[in-house]
Amino acid sequence: MSNQEDRLKTLIGHAKEYGFVFQSSEIYDGLSATYDYGPYGAELKNNIRQYWWAAMTKLNENIVGIDAAIFMHPTVWKASGHVDAFNDPLIDNKDSKKRYRADVLLEEHMAKYQDKIEKETDKAKKKFGDAFNEEQFRATNPNVLRAQERINGVEGRMKTALEANDLVGLRQLIIDEEIKCPISGTANWTEVRQFNLMFATELGSVSGESSTIYLRPETAQGIFVNFLNVQKSARMKIPFGIAQTGKAFRNEIVARQFIFRMREFEQMEMQFFIKPGTQQEWYEHWKTKRIAWHRALGLPADNYRFHDHIKLAHYADAACDIEFRFPMGFKELEGIHSRTDFDLGNHEKFSGKKLRYFDTETNESYVPYVLETSIGLDRMFLAILSAAYEEEKLENGEERVVLRIPAALAPVKVAVLPLIKKDGLPEKARAIIDGLKLSHNCQYDDKDSIGKRYRRQDAIGTPYCITIDHETLNDDAVTIRERDSMKQERVKISEVERIVGQKVDMKKLLRQL
């Protein structure tokens, strides 16, 4: 098993053991690519959502939020292009009977060449030390150049095939590159076929095409169809944005890698309506804003990178992803898309209703362009969990597992621990919790040794533990222990709320934006 698989397995085990994420319907052996969030997972997820929502709607007076229904009129999905074009190109290996996305097979194949380049560069860096000129090395080393040429070749052919919907060409590329099924090890591939990712169901009791409705595959369309409702009722002037969080559903074929790719997941999307012609400027603006939102969390900066799309979605004129270094390598975390007037224009056509903005300053009426930011809440959860998880060797030779979750997002902010279960210490602990619980999510724990209790809190990422001992009854002071440094300090009970608040307040994150 590779290191990457090991790390993901460890995370999955930890997430289950400590009540973050469970396999859905586990007692029935689970339902693939569907997960439930446990007590700490639900808190962490809420906190991430709240951070996103506040960053969008509180910090920008020209962005408002909505909460649209999951079910929408079926014509929405014709207008949006999802009925005709929301497809994945699939290919099966005849020996293993495993099904793959043809484009993912090719991307993983290119990633292997990229790995070679990185390894070669790292080796040279170690060899030459300070004298190493990385830029020159990448531009001249024959092994690097050869690998880069292979990547460019595959990328070029793949782009051409995808754009032309040339499924035969896509398959030929897989054959020419001698890509093998990781399970059977053979290149015995079927034809490539297109597969629509939307889940369909019947509305009411009548069946037939007219009553087929879909579970929304993105939250964005609920925003587009409400464009005029929101613009008018909230008296918005262009440029303005509409934000929404909510469930989306996709019948993903290759649904692996835990909560990274699920069939039911949650999106946090914002559509920003702008004047046609200004899209490039807003594209850059939202790229900067969104990466700042991620960076404010304080996770290592080299976990993020931008990746421009090689195949643009059916609605976009420019698009990139913010990729994150997940345990499986760099993968898409968030998309930033310049969607032009594709959606509003099509909804005008299909609904027969005008979806225009009248600019009172220029006396012009136009269909606005749209700049979209779209992030998966579950992917963001996985990003935080994977960056936060650490098995740390302590000075005394022991080991602890600690989740260094950004304090403002931690599920529990403070644990209150009476040293023993008698002599009035539990009562004192409860009284402290009563004082804190309106501001912070608190937990009471009096079971096992204090060391074990600290470990339990470390494992769920609690930023502070407060210990009540016999002295507390005399001096109204407690020992406060900080998660990351494990430093302990004696402080007055009256100071606790301020100390905890300073560290865990979400305003600390929002002020950086």
Residue numbers of the site for ligand GAP (CB under 6 A)? 218, 220, 250, 252, 261-262, 265, 267, 269, 332-335, 372, 374-376, 378-379
Interhelix angle 167-176/142-163, rounded to 10 degrees, is 160
Give the shortest CB-35-to-ligand GAP separation in angstroms. Answer: 10
Query: Which residues are CB-contacts of 8 (< 8 A; sequence separation ≥ 6)?
Result: 257, 258, 327, 328
**Among residues 318 and 491, whose Cβ is nearest to ligand GAP?**
318
Give the shortest CB-209-to-ligand GAP separation in angstroms. Answer: 25
**Among residues 41 and 463, whose Cβ is nearest to ligand GAP?**
41
**Among residues 250 and 453, whose Cβ is nearest to ligand GAP?**
250
**Among residues 93 and 221, whose Cβ is nearest to ligand GAP?**
221
Q: Coil, helix or strand for 151?
A: helix
**Among residues 311 and 508, whose Cβ is nearest to ligand GAP?**
311
**Among residues 109 and 379, whose Cβ is nearest to ligand GAP?**
379
- Single out the residue of 56, 359, 93, 345 nearest to residue 227, CA to CA: 345
**Among residues 223 and 466, whose Cβ is nearest to ligand GAP?**
223
Strands (E), 280-356: 304-308, 318-326, 329-340
Give the shortest CB-271-to-ligand GAP separation in angstroms. Answer: 8
Say how far apart CA 329 and CA 53 lie, in whole Å.
28
Beta strands 200-202 and 212-214: pairing type?
antiparallel
Give the shortest CB-292-to-ligand GAP separation in angstroms. Answer: 18
Give the shortest CB-378-to-ligand GAP separation in angstroms. Answer: 5
Say how far apart CA 513 and CA 501 lie, in whole Å.
19
Say how far apart CA 124 and CA 167 lie, in whole Å.
40
Q: Taking CB positions, which residue lies at the least distance from ligand GAP?
A: 376
DSSP string, 399-443: EEEEE---GGG-S-SEEEEESSSSTTHHHHHHHHHHHHTTTS-EE
Tokens of 301: 């900066």
DSSP string, 203-216: -TT--SGGGEEEB-
Give the shortest CB-442-to-ligand GAP separation in angstroms. Answer: 31
Give the shortest CB-145-to-ligand GAP separation in angstroms. Answer: 32
**Among residues 177 and 343, whose Cβ is nearest to ligand GAP?**
343
C-alpha distance from residue 119 to each of 30, 116, 122, 133 (Å): 39, 5, 5, 15
Q: If you ran DSSP here, which 8-state letter would residue 28 be given?
A: G
Say how far apart CA 167 and CA 192 lie, in whole Å.
6
Give the shortest CB-43-to-ligand GAP separation in angstroms. Answer: 20
Interhelix angle 102-128/142-163, rounded to 10 degrees, is 160
